[in-house]
Chains A and B, each alone.
Chain A
């Protein structure tokens, strides 16, 4: 097996608050191989965005990484200096955010926002000092420069029509779908090894969602980029991902290859999640919501975070932390009541 692009090991990210410590990411491990699309599924509040921010190193104050390790291409990110991490961000590792309406700067042209990334991370021979950048902001970037050419190339590859002309547009002149394409162009401009896409299609119309996902897959193949796709939408996962991690209340509860997960969900939470999602093949099936809500992540005292909502919980579920058990071919679930040992309870 090759070195994983990303391996997260027992990561803990917490936010101290007035009411106690919020453990947004509470001992998560996962890995991504080069060129694969890995899904991270969970409800809002499950900590999946904080996990993404931890990997990129952009956790907002007062959040902090309290334990574990994140390795990027074999090197620990947590041991790097701020400068080193900054040089990786946007270059070898980039991110696509959920909200295309607010993720682009309204006072910079779309072309400049992409070209800036290129200048920062690739040797284009163009100066990136503050004064050079401010000058570009005021008089515009050099149109014959390598960075600008690359920006136009990227806009073209994300299917923006007339990219030379549109590169000079400001974000408000783009539609929502076009803005998200521009975001993708920006994230892929430096041919990164890893792209973290946080709900990249949630804010878009359904028809545009499909197009964007398709493009994302094509670009992945073109640049051989690994993608961590974060979403609450099982349909998006089923369509695009090679492997899936299911996250609940700061923990990963199940992981498997996509087809396997959908045909044999093991963890009660995953089962509930699938049962509560409309199935195209079986439109008559009744939808069963999971009762209750994702718990407040402050000071959870019971061992399995899903236990209070779980239909199968026993006293032991509250007392003994569940470890990962193999429940199938390359398929693991963190539940005391699953796997060969599970039946004994």
Chain B
């Protein structure tokens, strides 16, 4: 008997050549170990596996780039006028670039009631629509995360005051809350619009973050961090928030399309941002009275909204599946 048989259990009658845990060479299999994956790796993996989410991501990036580089990629200037209400794919001939020669240009999406090229207007409109949407979610994220963290971390009175306040946000349909806030603050400035729509989303972020904080707070490493004398603020920022990051990312991705829709509704009502170049909602609103003569004036910007919202939704759904977050937690 060799040394290894010292570990042979008492019940065994003989010591075999291959004791517990020992396997002949040819039967050895590789152990699979579950690897830790970072948030970024998981996002990359979703995009590799989930083709719809990838398509969504590409469309989103496409819209963002188009908006950012609108002056370079748009076929015309936003104020350049052509014939009124020309159909999609129609052409205009004239000296449009001021080089003294006449040329023919195609209006892929037609022109509107002022003679503006619709494709150009949509590209410029994307700037405000997307910017406002991102700013709105950033605002809701900041305020909501702060409130949710405070409520979850301190509990008790602070928690109930914050959560009651949030209950009341819930009582308003998003658009009505936005309209009410615009009524108080006056329209025009994009910041007012951001706050008006953003407030309606604060409660969603606050609830998620509070829930995450409540569950993470019980974990031992938080107690450990407090035991070694970390301050509350440090514990919140360094230990708790990074762990709540995936549901927050998913929520933010799913909130951006809602913000786009909210902004579009406000500007459709004439209560949104009033910049020199109109937003998508305003473009739709402008075309509304001409639907019997020139349907494309309203429909084209509407399709733009639909496409980008759809893209954000597919991306958000893919991320939600990837992070294994149930639909009841984030929606």
Interface residues of A (CB under 8 A from B): 265, 268, 271-272, 274-275, 288, 290-292, 301-302, 307-315, 317-318, 337
Contact = CB atoms under 8 A, between A and B. Distances in A.
A296 to B, nearest CB: 8
A312 B8 CA distance: 8
Contact of B17 (A265, A272, A302, A315): A315
Interface stretch (B19-27, B98-106, B242-250): B19-27
Contact of B18 (A268, A291, A292, A313): A313
A288 B21 contact: no
Interface residues of B, number: 19
B21 A314 contact: no
A275 B20 CA distance: 15
Interface in B1-57: 8-24, 27, 29
Given A275-B11, A312-B13, A291 B20 contact: yes
A265 B29 CA distance: 30
B24 to A, nearest CB: 5
Of residues A274, A288, A309, A313, which shows the largest number of chain B Cβ atoms within 10 Å of its Cβ? A313
B183 to A, nearest CB: 45
A337 B14 contact: yes
A342 to B, nearest CB: 9
Given A291-B21, A311-B16, A314-B16, A301 B10 contact: no
9 contacts: A268-B11, A290-B20, A291-B20, A310-B16, A311-B8, A312-B13, A315-B17, A315-B24, A318-B23
Given A302-B27, A311-B16, A313-B16, A292 B11 contact: no
Nearest to A265: B11
A314 B29 CA distance: 18
**Which 6 residue pairs of A and B lie closest in terms of their CB atoms, listed nearest first?**
A291-B20, A271-B11, A311-B12, A312-B16, A313-B16, A313-B18
A308 B23 contact: yes
Given A268-B11, A268-B12, A337-B14, A310 B20 contact: yes
A292 B21 contact: yes
A278 to B, nearest CB: 15
A289 to B, nearest CB: 9
Contacts of A265: 11
Contacts of B19: 311, 313
A301 B29 CA distance: 10
A317 B16 contact: yes
Nearest to A345: B14
Interface in B220-250: none
B218 to A, nearest CB: 23
Contacts of A315: 17-18, 24
Nearest to A275: B11
Contacts of A312: 12-16
Contacts of B17: 313-315
A106 B22 CA distance: 49
Contacts of A309: 20-21
Contacts of B9: 272, 275, 288, 290, 311
A184 B20 CA distance: 41
Contacts of B16: 310-314, 317, 337
B11 A288 contact: yes
A153 to B, nearest CB: 41
Contacts of B22: 308, 313
A217 to B, nearest CB: 30
A343 B7 CA distance: 22
Contacts of A272: 9, 11
Contacts of A288: 9-11
A161 to B, nearest CB: 37
Contacts of B8: 311
A308 B16 CA distance: 11
Contacts of A307: 18, 23
A167 B23 CA distance: 57
A311 B15 contact: yes
